[in-house]
Chain A
Amino acid sequence: MTRSLAFMSFRYAAILLAIAIVLVPVLWMASMAFKPIEEWQATGADLTWIPRAPTLDNFRYIFGRSTSDLIVTLDKTALKPILASFLSAGIGTILAMTAGTSAAYGLSRFGSGANLPLALVQLRLFPPMAVMTPVMIMWAFLSFTDSWWGLALVYGIVTLPFAFWLMKTFFDDMPKEIEEAALVEGCSRGRVFLKITLPMMRAPLASAALFVFILNWSDYLIALLLTTKQWVTIPVYMASLSSSMTGQLYGAKAALGLIAAVPPVVLGVLIQRHLVRGLTFGALKQ
């Protein structure tokens, strides 16, 4: 299809504008991460857009290797919170994807669990804040509070609806003939699922997993309420870089923010070729 010059210029102009808007906060964060403390200030005539004296101090600082005498060394480095985020978001994602995919398949093929679609939408729709009080009591009772597994369990549950719904639409869409052919050839149901169905679902699985992971990785509220010291996650830890006494350690926050963006970006790049197809939610009926 050929496009008119006018359309092409409009397209580039619009995309450039969108990119510019998208980039302002991103670049602000990236630049802040490399600014020395003298340049953090966000107000007035001294506003710094590009670091005048770029430094890695902010990164060194959050890993406890501050060379500067001016900043007190942190009592806790960012390492453990990064680990906590990885474990809770990662295991939570695996949990949600496993339970969600198998349930979606069970419903789609065998009509089991007819209550799940509604129950899971309700589960996701409900503001976590409103149920967190009993969950806090329950978690403390089970000794799940302030642990990565306790957090992973909640994450697995609150993102289960996404895994389920995403996968269900794809299973619904998948032509049954393929599986049936394999069954006729004598494969067991389980083998068909593992060897034929799942591989075909690589794209949806990958994008659903990425999406679920990003949701878990992003969480602030649940971790804020369910962790205290050992297993605080990145967003919660970030708040300790901002007590009113230390002032807001914006550079350190931005540095950690950059680091926190790495896993979603890496995963996103890895599954990029599946992403667009995977996100159709199987909703394009031919």
Chain B
Amino acid sequence: MSAAAGGLSMQVQRSRPAVLHALLLLVRRSLRQHAFSSLVTAFSVALGSGLVMAVFSIQKQARDAFTGGDVGFDGVVGARGSQLQLVLNAVYHLETSPGNIPWSIYDDLRRRPYVELAVPYALGDNYRGFRVVGTTEELFTKFEYQFGRKYTIQPGGVVFDPSLQEAVIGDFVARQTGLRVGHAFSPYHGLAFDEHEQHHEEYRVVGVLAPTNTPADRVIWIPIEGVFRLGGHVLRGTGEEYHPLAGEEIADEHKELSAVMLKLTSPKFGMQLDKEINKLGKTATFAWPIANSMAELFNKLGWVNRVLELVAYLVIVVAAASILASIYNTINERRREFAILRALGARRRMVFSAIVLEAAAIAGIGSLFGYVLYAVVLMAAAVVVRNQVGVVLDFTQIHPMLLATPLIMVSLGALAGVVPAVKAYATDVADNLTPHT
């Protein structure tokens, strides 16, 4: 560097044209000059990309949560009918019960050597919409709802006494109904809440389960005997109606169950039972493996997902179109600027690139906002699913679309920028150098 005193006569060999530097400066400045329309456009991009990411992610996570998770049991035996209905009813505590099976099936199954655990469920009542499920205390003493994890009773509570009118309630039930240890309540008849259908029997809460993040959080557990004795329950079993009297012991042939939950020592016995109950037998259904039934459900709902995906894709296309329109509208007012830049030595393709890059930048910024939108939608979805079903969506999972969507969006944005860029490219320099009046 040889600056002659007061002069400017030195010749320095400088770096190659800082084209990228210039491009970034142009794009940054243009985005700022058109901040409002850029932001509005970026928001529409955010809607599109957020929606696409949410649709794919929720879809995947819901499927995983309902089909991939360990539910503790291998299979469910219930009344002859749909395996899916049986699973929804007995595992997820949704849907109506497909019907009843005699106690003898449970009695038979639990004695088989390969049955590690058999737990009977008897349904038919609710308390303010939460299911009252009759079961045995083995559910709390032996059952592991996930590998190595048993239900635990929150401090101050105990497991119900099978011979008393006592209840253990799920954590969500406790929070929603306000029921605490020591409180008494009367169940309502039926699985759907109807305030005119209240039983006169009272149950006392003796324990609240620690949160499990499973459907069990939404259930009220009572001794199975209690369900048989609740008024309005008609027991057949022997072919005729039967109402137990207070204090009278109920004979096994009158006891009916909604489902028997099974844990087997090995999957091969599942196949054996499948053959025995589903193919050869005619009285019951064996839903096994449980995840298969849910996978079947998701496959059936596949078309809903396709529709949602299509809608999300359309929003993305609309967002790209709005990028095109918003930049296109600025080209006329910027003709003089392009002409000056060209007069300074900028090449046509430089002006072209600046516009394409600006469009891509809007798409990129929008995609960043899209992540925020995605997070909000996903959290909302997780809360809804949790409250409705008790299943927790794991939104720490990274779906590949979380990476692909912004890339697709930026590419689409750049593509949309080509149209105004061509217009800018065609700007005539001499024509636009002098201000038009």
Partners in one complex: no
